[in-house]
Amino acid sequence: MPRYFFNLLLAFAFTTAFLCGCGKRPAPPYNRMRSQLIVSACDNISNEQTDAAIDDLQRLLDIDTDNAFAEAALHHEQQRRLLAEANALIARADHVALRLWLDQVIRDGQASPELLALRDVAPALAALAAFLAHAPWHNATERQQALAKLEPSLPVLQQSVAFQAFYHTEKEQLAAMHSQEQRQTALRLLRELDNALFSGLRQRQAAILNEFATTIPGHPLQHYITHLNAKTTTASLQAVLSATDKGVPAAEATLAAVLAATMQWRDLSQPVRLAIQKHSQQLPASASLCGAWLKARVNHQPRHYQELFSYLYSLPGPPPLSKELLQDYLNFVLLPKQSVTAWCWRSPAPGVTDFLARLKQVGETQPVASNKERP
């Protein structure tokens, strides 16, 4: 833009030189003040000294009212000053002052197309101010809803490089918050399912699985439940476990595998059961009731059941035992099949002697707990 005014000045000088050299009519008298004002105005324009340039150009128009250069340059500098004022208000994010200022400029008839384009900035800044006023966010849903309210203003706001960086950071933090909430919800539901399976609460199990499908679709738990069945081999089990989403923590995925195996236990082959039990060793001993049960039921070792019951007794409020767990303990530990073949169990009409013999046999087959293991 300054080059344009210098070209005008140069053209003015060439015209003056031409007229001076024509010789057909006398040259107008030299006006030192006007020349000084033109030079000073051009210098100030070049150095972006807007107020000083406006003063020079106004004085030039006062002594030369028909000076087209001074008139055009004065209008340009006045608009530049208005744009500078607008930019200052935008930099302060003072959307109220910006709106009032624009209204006044429009009423005064000073609004250029560039200034009129700023009318969308004030409501965009207001939307941004409202967004910032509601921070910090309590959850990802609130943050997502607040960002959605900014979307109509994005075409204006994203003209700012600073806002682009800010918006990108907000989207990243939203994704991180959403992921963290999903992990918290998944762990809560897995623990609730662990308790429900251990206690045999079928209706509660169904309700938890429905909530899982709604709130965390695609979780490894659903994948494991689908692929753990009578046809599962140790090779296919490893393929299923290795295909787990890497974004899910290993402990969470392992707990999901234990719970899925608990649900499908009757259909699984013994090699697959052993492989799952080995896989479950990644979990801490107290991380899962079903994990402790799985350790006991995979080979039905009495000491493992004793460890499970000792752990239950140590809890402030131990959960009830499922019918399936009690049957396992009764059939494989307390009264294994070979025990009930004794004479005291075969009598069609057992008497006192038979019952005493049965109680004696149960006492002999029951593993003895140490003092440390007693409740």
Among 267, 299, 331, residue at a domain's last position: 299
Q: Measured between alpha carbons, how far is 339 from 349 in angstroms, rounded to an integer?
A: 18
Contacts for 58 with CB less than 8 Å, ≥ 6 apart? 74
Residue 182 lies in a domain: yes
Residue where one domain finishes, among candidates 246, 274, 299:
299
Q: How many domains does the chain have?
A: 2
Distance of CA 40 to the CA centre of its chain: 58
Furthest CA-CA distance within the chain = 153
Q: Does any domain span residue 25?
A: yes
Residue 374, Ramachandran bin (φ over 0: left; ψ between -120 and 50: alpha; else beta): beta
189 domain residue, yes or no:
yes
Considering the domain boundaries, does residue 358 fall inside one?
no
**d(Cα 293, Cα 301) in Å, to the nearest integer?**
11
Task: Please identify, among 249, 267, 299, the residue that sits at the C-terminal boundary of a domain.
Answer: 299
251: tokens are: 């402990």
| In a domain? residue 198 | yes
Contact 143, 174 (CB under 8 A): yes
Range of the domain at 37: 2-91
Q: What is the pLDDT along the chain (375 residues), one digit of tens a residue?
A: 444 333 333 333 333 333 334 444 554 554 677 677 777 767 767 667 767 767 767 776 777 777 777 667 766 766 677 667 766 766 666 666 767 766 676 666 666 666 666 667 777 878 888 888 888 888 999 999 999 998 988 888 888 788 899 899 999 999 999 999 999 999 999 999 999 999 999 999 999 999 999 999 889 999 999 999 989 999 999 998 888 888 888 889 999 999 999 999 999 999 999 999 999 888 876 788 999 899 888 888 888 888 888 888 888 888 888 888 888 877 777 665 555 455 444 555 555 454 455 445 555 555 544 444 433
Instruction: Decide if 111 contacts 142 (C-beta within 8 A).
Output: no
The answer as to whether 331 is a domain residue is no
Q: How far apart are CA 202 and CA 224, in angstroms?
A: 19
In a domain, 146, yes or no: no
pTM equals 0.61
